[in-house]
Amino acid sequence: MADVAARAGVSLGTVSHVLNHPERVTDATRAKVEDAVAALGYRPNRMARSLAGGRSSAIGLAMTDLSNSLFVDIARGAGEHAESLGMSVLLADGDNELGREVRNLELFDELSVAGSMITLSDEEHMAALVGARSGGRPVVLLNFSAPEAWFCSVAVDNELGGYIATEHLLGTGRTRLVFVGGPEVLRPVHDRRDGFRRALAGAGLVAVDELRPDAINREDGVQIGRRLVADVRAGRVDGIVAASDLLAAGIVQALLAEGISVPSDVAVVGYDNNQAVWDLPVPLTTVAQPGEEMGRRGARLVIDEARTAGHVHEAVLLQPHLVVRASAPHAGARTS
């Protein structure tokens, strides 16, 4: 601890304050001491636990589904930030099962982590989470906006994502568009649909159709793709905005199997920039979410809530961006 004090240029008493009563020091002093801790490579299981106010040096991240690379990105961003403070991130995969996600959160609580992050995708999860929350430890919601009175949250603007996907298709001359969504209870799907409608309205157009499969997996996409074959052949549909890459991958697969050309006959934009569909013969144009940034911001908020007496909840909204590939190329690009 003397090393830390010397390096930070503060007294031993100040280091002790940072460790035990962080609310009594200024942010600048705390930052100096934390930098010294990081530079000296102190073992997290002694120093950083103290930094977190006597609790564990770990924060938890309960993920919806590790097979979606968005959650891997979130985990990496959170890990990077925690590591820079000498802390660790414990991860748990919910495998898309609500019960398992809630149990993961309970597990973090039992392990006395400094705080937890959980990725959410619908209101039902949100309700279960509020019920499961206990022990007064900080919980930050990721990929979901929550009332600030309850939680900090870091979300991506899904309405904007739906908008830029649709604008891209309109900008390449496609006008007969279909949105393929999913259960309306999934708020990201709902918001992406709203963005789709706003872009169409801005161009003075209306949707050819809005489809709502029971789920947003690849197999659902295959079913939808088969249903769209006749409309595409007849020229009634020339562009598709799908609410997930898994859906888009299934749709493209079904269309190609019927001899339809993507993007010549119909352009397709997915959502997620999901590596799980990387082996598609026609690489997907998609809306990418800033997963690492979401993880970093979430970790910063949860650690702040764990350490700072006067912590104020924040709802952070990040912006998605378009990644253009072959399934919906730029205007003027060769499409066959």
Q: Which residues bind its own copies (CB under 8 A)?
A: 41, 43-45, 56-58, 66-67, 69, 72, 75-76, 79-80, 83, 88-93, 95, 99-100, 103-104, 106-107, 110-111, 275-276, 278-279, 283, 325
User: Least distance in Å: CB of 276 to its own copies?
Assistant: 7
Its sign, for the CA torsion 270, 274, 280, 284, is positive
Taking CA atoms, 16 is separated from 53, 187, 197, in Å, by 11, 45, 56
Nearer to its own copies, 23 or 97 (CB): 97
Nearer to its own copies, 57 or 119 (CB): 57
The token pair that represents 20 in the structure block:
């035990």
Nearer to its own copies, 178 or 248 (CB): 248
For the chain, strand residue ranges (E) read 58-63, 88-93, 115-119, 139-142, 152-156, 177-180, 209-211, 239-242, 267-271, 285-288, 315-318, 321-323
Torsion of CA 121, 276, 228, 167, to 10 degrees: 70
User: Least distance in Å: CB of 45 to its own copies?
Assistant: 6
User: Least distance in Å: CB of 96 to its own copies?
Assistant: 11
User: Least distance in Å: CB of 104 to its own copies?
Assistant: 6
Nearer to its own copies, 90 or 170 (CB): 90
User: Least distance in Å: CB of 66 to its own copies?
Assistant: 6
Cβ–Cβ under 8 Å, residues 114 and 302 = yes
| CA 132 to chain CA centroid, nearest Å | 21
Cβ–Cβ under 8 Å, residues 250 and 222 = yes
Nearer to its own copies, 207 or 256 (CB): 256
